[in-house]
Amino acid sequence: MAFSSTKDMDVAVGSMRLTGGTFTNTGGGTGGAIPTGLQRIYMMKLQHVAAAVVARAPAFTITNVDPVTITTVANTGGIWMAWGV
């Protein structure tokens, strides 16, 4: 069960930052931690990227601190974006 994530985007937007990247699950994995690099998260978006229809969207709980722990469908991947400071 392996979860991995990348951070491919990190841009300043006024006094805030927009970060984003990808996440993947293998070996039956159903989630893990995404380090956003933000000290405080105001908004986050997760989207599965899959060839087949996925029954449910990724779920996560934002505690306004890094990293963000997500739960996904087993063996899926996707993209993420977070907005904050």
Neighbours of 21 (CB within 10 A): 17
CB 37 within 8 A of CB 6: no
Structure tokens, 79: 């993209």
pLDDT tens sequence across 52-68:
566 666 777 666 678 99
Domains located in the chain, CATH noted: 2-84 (2.60.40.3940)
Q: Which residues pair with 46 in a beta bridge?
A: 80
Q: What is the pLDDT of residue 53?
A: 62
CB 79 within 8 A of CB 34: no
Evaluate if pTM is beyond 0.75: yes
Alpha helices in 1-85 (DSSP H): none
CB 38 within 8 A of CB 19: yes
